[in-house]
Structure 1
């Protein structure tokens, strides 16, 4: 009953969530110029991107495995069969993470590029999804494995590729630089 009677803790939580939203907005401004080269690569492969594919979408929620979160999707192409998205996520009590999600034509187009850059991605701390569930985001041992140089080739047995790296919450003050660096690593691996 003490928590219900004390508004301070919920106000603190609301303040932290607002800071996370502001961080995502600032990241989106850094991300946008990096996407010009990626657009050229995708369109050179014959895929016509919608006009809003590189516009940021920031969303927040209260219940990813019972905890609050904030998500920035940029770029974001979510089709029935084709996905090209980079998701940056703040997950309360856990970490920040940057995740590349490819499916369909995008997986076919970029799997080779990712294999060629697997060393750089591994050095940056990326993990690869190995559970077969493309909508699980948590970096747990039953869901992701540390990327090895041959991991991407093995993951093509799934109808998607997901690569993810995290930044611990105790590095909040450095998180903009860290998350932007992870984002850039992904964009460059896609053949910027």
Structure 2
């Protein structure tokens, strides 16, 4: 277990760890701003009583090892049960990106399927990408995992809507930190518009 020269240079320094902790605190704060922005979306006004009950229970989780890198996730709104999933999941993943994801399954997918069926071009215009794998709990963007919706055929879109779950996502560069909250809000607003929430 001998340290490499690079590891030896880091083990005697603490400053980079303090920087990492500050960045993670700022990422969590940023996710709190996303929560506030999503809660103010005008689409929730179409629901009797304002923001639906499922939107009141936001959850921010963080960890050190999603594929060996630190991350923070906001689920808001969030509804996860055996027969229903409706979630907007926003993720900060160190070294990669921010992602904004719509995740539907069960009753929520059935409820929104007719509107989504007609919305492929509008969703594609928002920059949405379609999740391809069978495991709904993978969060990495990339070729073979997500496909730009504009590149999906109508038949592929129809097939995706008939699956057990649907995930649509859009990545945002970490370098766009200062503008990411309004950009994520705009993406969620566009997606929810197509669903006629």
Q: Please, what TM-score do these two structures have when normalized by structure 1?
A: 0.88
Cα shift readout 1:134-176 (whole Å, capped 9, x = no counterpart) = 1111112221111136243121342100000011111111111
Equivalent residue, structure 1, for 2:124: 122
| 2:38 pairs with one of 28, 31, 43 | 31
Aligned-residue CA RMSD (Å): 2.0
Alpha-carbon separation, structure 2, partners of 1:169 and 1:134:
24
Report how many residues are paired: 185
Q: 1:126 to 1:181 in 2, by over 3 A?
A: same
Contact 1:101 1:161 in 2 (8 A): yes
Given candidates 159, 171, 176, the residue that maps to 1:171 is: 176
Uncovered stretches (5+) of structure 2, i.e. residues with no partner: 1-7
In our comparison, the structure showing a higher alpha carbon Rg is: 2
Unaligned runs of 5+ in 1: 41-48
With normalisation by structure 2, the TM-score equals: 0.86
Q: 2:59 aligns with which of 49, 57, 62?
A: 57
Deviation at 1:38, TM superposition (A): 6.0
Which residue in the other structure is 1:86 paired with?
A: 88
1:191 aligns with 2:193: no
Asked whether the equivalents of residues 131 and 146 of structure 2 are also in contact (C-alpha less than 8 Å), the reply is: yes
